[in-house]
Structure 1
């Protein structure tokens, strides 16, 4: 089956100083590489998650896909159309089929616009003048479970959950094939998180769209996604099916992330893995395996040789970058309040 979105060897970098200052200080490389050689695919109706610490490059990839950030090299193909070779005007038809909800739901909504104007803005941007703005705004609000009288409200009059629903409604305005949800549950109460996740799951079932979720919430990943990719310093260090990675993580960093997942049971026996040291700076990347400075299994080769991508013998779609991968060390599934959402996600209509 052909991929809806295919990204190959994507690299994104940011300048750290201007050209004149770099020349004056003798800096040969006045930039940092935020994303380094990332490759992945998303198919129609599939949900993929990016997981990793803050600053690992997850949101940068998302912003590059939708054209808010320029890639230095690599390929971004949407439904067979190469986007990196197109101008902004030429990309517009493809961008109509993609949408993104941002981390801060209220901050991403213009305080000067009403909900009606926010929801109908995509129609104006793409020149769809034949749409009835009032009817479209009401339809979109109904889709995300909000009453029609919200059209006259401003963002400051919305709660966090309501603003998140408005963001989802705006993303759905043009019936996209792909939604990128950046931290869709951030800052929300657990009950509201469940409502938002149920909403995304229901809309995916009804519309058949693909979803790319960027999150720190491993419970969301476990219950919502088909596959997941673990990021560290701008690279994918482990990629595979969500079930497989949760059951058999092969990279020590993945093992530590899963072991750190919150456990609400006070009687639970915890097997926490403490990562030593700080996350290295992107301006001073460690040599060899970039995780070796924090890895308890690191040996001499780890500091000298960058690990190549390997695949699991049991699952050829489960890949990882590690000189000494873990051998089937299971991570106990946490039992959290989010478990109650699992039934809802499968049964709620």
Structure 2
């Protein structure tokens, strides 16, 4: 499959204190790495999910791809063109082919604009004068199952589901090749969630667009996606086809996430896995395997050696970072390197 979006060794960091304070306190690196060495591809028409706890770096990746955040290193190429180093004017034609559905359906809509103005805003920003604004707004509303009367409403007059549909319609205005959906069902009733998911699936079939979906809802991930990537402290710790990971998780963190997934059957026998401790601070990453502070399978090597990606012999597209995967038949891709208890890893 031809890659529409290719991300290589992406690294995004944020400053934790100002230059003067860092100088006064003797802090050599006043930064935290929110995303550390992430690589992935999305093919045309494919759906990839980013899964992980809050603060793992999922939304930061999305915002970096769309141009709202700058990376300190790594590359982002879209349809074969490296875009991370392009200027604003040079990036615009490529950003026109990407769109984002933000997590807060109402908060992402300007309260001063009507729905009609919100839907036609992409045409104004990209100076597309070859379309009639009124007819385009009505077309987009029909596409997401809303009547033309909604064009006269303001965001505060919309329900959460209606605001989500308006956000989807706005994202589709310029017929993008890639949609980035950040928690598209967050805050919605279950029935409305189903409507939104079915709408996205139908539009993907009709328009052939690729989707990068960010979600905590594993039922949504299993229903919507072809592949998924599990994130922990800004890294991918397991990547593979969605069905493969659900059926054969290799990383203990993935196992715990899947075990915590809500089960609608009240008579089902649940095998919950309780993770001990808190998520480590990005300012003090644990040495060795960063998950060892919460892992129930941890051994001495986990405290000292950072695990490099490995793959299964029967599925080389299923990769994971773990010294003691849930199934032991692994093929190392690269050899690990030893970190002392005091030595920081490459993201410190």
Q: How does 1:299-314 map to 2 (within 5 A)?
A: 299-314=299-314
CA separation in 1, counterparts of 2:253 and 2:293? Answer: 11
Residue 244 of structure 2 corresponds to residue 244 of structure 1 = yes
Runs of 4+ in structure 1 off by over 4 angstroms are none
Hey, what does 1:297 align to over in structure 2?
Answer: 297
Hey, what does 2:227 align to over in structure 1?
Answer: 227
How many Å apart are 1:130 and its aligned residue?
2.5
CA separation in 1, counterparts of 2:217 and 2:306? Answer: 29
Alignment: residue pair count:
329
List gaps (5 residues or longer) in structure 2: 329-348
Hey, what does 1:200 align to over in structure 2?
Answer: 200
Hey, what does 2:174 align to over in structure 1?
Answer: 174
Hey, what does 2:19 align to over in structure 1?
Answer: 19
Residue 220 of structure 2 corresponds to residue 211 of structure 1 = no
Hey, what does 1:342 align to over in structure 2?
Answer: none
CA separation in 2, counterparts of 1:166 and 1:39? Answer: 31
Hey, what does 1:332 align to over in structure 2?
Answer: none
Hey, what does 2:28 align to over in structure 1?
Answer: 28
Cα displacement string for residues 173-205 of structure 1 (whole angstroms, at most 9, x for unaligned residues) = 000000000000000011000000000000000
CA separation in 1, counterparts of 2:188 and 2:266? Answer: 23
How many Å apart are 1:129 and its aligned residue?
1.8
CA separation in 1, counterparts of 2:190 and 2:84? Answer: 39
Residue 41 of structure 2 corresponds to residue 41 of structure 1 = yes
TM-score, normalising length: structure 1: 0.93
Hey, what does 1:126 align to over in structure 2?
Answer: 126
Cα displacement string for residues 208-261 of structure 1 (whole angstroms, at most 9, x for unaligned residues) = 000000000000001110000000000000000000000000000000000000
How many Å apart are 1:2 and its aligned residue?
2.1
CA separation in 1, counterparts of 2:45 and 2:84? Answer: 24
How many Å apart are 1:266 and its aligned residue?
2.2
Cα displacement string for residues 109-143 of structure 1 (whole angstroms, at most 9, x for unaligned residues) = 00000000000000000011221110000000000
Q: How does 1:1-349 map to 2 (within 5 A)?
A: 1-327=1-327
CA separation in 2, counterparts of 1:268 and 1:207? Answer: 39
CA separation in 2, counterparts of 1:323 and 1:33? Answer: 23
List gaps (5 residues or longer) in structure 1: 329-349
SS in 2 for 1:318: strand
CA separation in 1, counterparts of 2:264 and 2:173? Answer: 38
How many Å apart are 1:263 and its aligned residue?
1.4
Cα displacement string for residues 237-296 of structure 1 (whole angstroms, at most 9, x for unaligned residues) = 000000000000000000000000011322211100000000000001000100000000
CA separation in 1, counterparts of 2:40 and 2:255? Answer: 21
How many Å apart are 1:84 and its aligned residue?
1.1
CA separation in 1, counterparts of 2:270 and 2:171? Answer: 40
CA separation in 2, counterparts of 1:243 and 1:62? Answer: 23
CA separation in 1, counterparts of 2:153 and 2:72? Answer: 41
CA separation in 1, counterparts of 2:226 and 2:266? Answer: 30
CA separation in 1, counterparts of 2:223 and 2:127? Answer: 38
How many Å apart are 1:7 and its aligned residue?
0.1
Hey, what does 1:341 align to over in structure 2?
Answer: none
